[in-house]
Amino acid sequence: MLEHGGRLRLAAAQWNIPLADWLDLSTGISPQGWPVPPLPADCWRRLPEDNDGLEETAAAYYGNANLLPLAGSQAAIQCLPTLLPRAAVVMPAPLYAEHPQAWERAGHKVRRLAGANLARALMAMAPNVLLCNPNNPTGRAYPRDELLDAAAQLKKRGGTLVVDEAFADADPEHCVAPYAGTKDAPNLIVLRSLGKFFGLAGARVGFILARRELLAQMVEVLGPWAVSGPSRVVAQGALADRDWQAAARVRLAADSERLRALLAPLGEVHSTPLFCWLPTAQAQKLHDFLAARGILVRLFAEETSTPGIRLGLPGSEAEWQRLAQALREWSPAPVTPAKAGVQIQA
C-alpha cells in the first residue's frame, strides 16, 4: 500500500499532538469545498440509478458525454490497465505513484522518464503514454494543443494517451476531457475527480472519459452501483453549480499566489491553484519542523532523488497566520533547489 497525504491520525500519534490541534496541508484538497446541502432521505434508502441525471450533468460540465462515474478516479487507475493490451507505457516522472504501480501489477512494462517533457516521452516510441496534468506533486502543466498533438501521434502507432486531470478543475484552460474518446481523439483517455477542486474527497466520486467500447468493458468489470446514491446526489449538485465554481476558481488563484509568496524565501516554488511544490534538500528537516508545530505537509524524500514538500492551502485566516509564523521561525542553512528526480508517490 502506497503512502498518501491526509494521514492525520498517524501524525497525531507520532508527534504526540491531539488530532484537533493539527493544521493539515498534506493533501491538495480544497479547504473550502462545495457546500453540501441536506440530502433527500430517499437517496439513503434506494439503490443508485443510472438515469438520475448525473451523467447528463457531468457531460455538460466536461463537454463530453463519453464518460462513466466511478468511486473516485482511483477506481479507474486500478481498473484501466487490466482492460488494455499489455504493452510498454512511458510516464514522465515524478508523478502520482498509484499509476505505475497499477500498470506494473497488470503486466505492462512501465518506463519512468525522470524530468522528461512530453516530446521526450513520445521519442521513447512506446505505444502508450501516461501523465498527470497538472502534475502531482511538481505542478507542471501541459498545454492542450500539445496533448492533442501527442494523442494524434500515438494514434498513428496504435497507442493510447492517458491524462489524469485530478487537479485540473481549478484552471481548466488546458483540459482535454472534452476530446476523450471522440472521433478527433479516440485513443485519448482522461480521468477526473471531484475530490480536489470541489473538496469532496470523502464522497469518492470520479469519472473516466474514453471511447464507448472501453467504458462498456469497465462497466462489466466494476458491476452495478459503482457510486453510492448519496454521492451521486452530491456530485450532480456540485457539477451543476456554475456560480460556485467560478467564485472558487478566483479564490483559489488568489490563495495559491499567497502561498507561493509565503514560501518564496525558502527556494524555487512551483504552484498550482490547489497546492505548491517546494523542492529542497532540507525537505525532511522542514517537514519535521512543521510537524512538531502541528502542521502536516506532504514529504517526498526517501522515495525520490528530488526531495521536497507539497503544501495545500490553509482554509482560514488563523491557519494562514499559523503557517506564516512557523515559516518565520524556520531558520535553516540556505536552501538549494534540488534537481529533477524519479518516482514520486501520492
pTM: 0.91
CATH of 8-33+244-329, one of 3.40.109.10, 3.30.530.20, 3.90.1150.10, 2.120.10.10: 3.90.1150.10
Render pLDDT for 206-224 as a digit per residue (tens, 0 to 9).
999 999 999 999 999 999 9
Task: Note the CATH architecture for domain 42-240.
Answer: 3-Layer(aba) Sandwich (3.40)
- The residue ranges of every structural domain in the chain are 8-33+244-329, 42-240
**Closest by alpha carbon to 31, among 295, 263, 275?**
275
Give the pLDDT band (50/70/90) at residue 116: confident
Write down the residue that cell numbers 499559523 correspond to. 322
The identity of residue 231, as a single letter, is S
pLDDT at 345 over 80: no
Phi-psi region of 212 (alpha: psi -120 to 50; beta: other; left: phi over 0): alpha
What pLDDT digit, counting tens, does each position of 144-180 carry?
999 999 999 999 999 999 999 999 999 998 999 999 9
CA 151 to chain CA centroid, Å, is: 21
Long-range CB contacts for residues 106-113, cutoff 8 Å, separation at least 24: 106/81, 106/82, 108/81, 108/84, 112/342, 112/343
CA 224/CA 165 separation, integer angstroms:
25
Q: Is the pLDDT of residue 336 over 50?
A: no
pLDDT digits (tens, 9 = 90+) for 39-90: 999 999 999 998 899 999 999 999 999 999 999 999 999 999 999 999 999 9
What integer pLDDT is reported at residue 48 of this predicted model?
95
- C-alpha to C-alpha distance for 118 and 146, rounded to whole angstroms: 8
Q: What is the pLDDT of residue 5?
A: 63
Return the pLDDT at 4: 65
Whether omega for the bond prior to residue 134 falls within 30 degrees of 0, making it cis, is yes
Which residue, among 314, 238, 301, has the nearest Cα to 274 in the 3D structure?
Answer: 314
Q: How many CB atoms lie within 10 A of CB 265?
A: 11
Q: What is the pLDDT of residue 1?
A: 56
Strand partners, 309: 278, 299
- The torsion angle over the Cα atoms of residues 266, 270, 276 and 281, rounded to 10 degrees, is -40
Label the pairing between strands 270-271 and 88-93: unpaired
Nearest to 71 by CA among 256, 270, 212, 218: 218
As given in the structure block, the three cell numbers for residue 322 are 499559523
CB 136 within 8 A of CB 170: no
**181-204 pLDDT, tens per residue?**
999 999 999 999 999 999 999 999
Average pLDDT taken over every residue of the chain? 92
Taking the C-alpha atoms of residue 206 and residue 29, their distance in angstroms, rounded to an integer, is: 14
Beta-bridge partner residues of 22: none
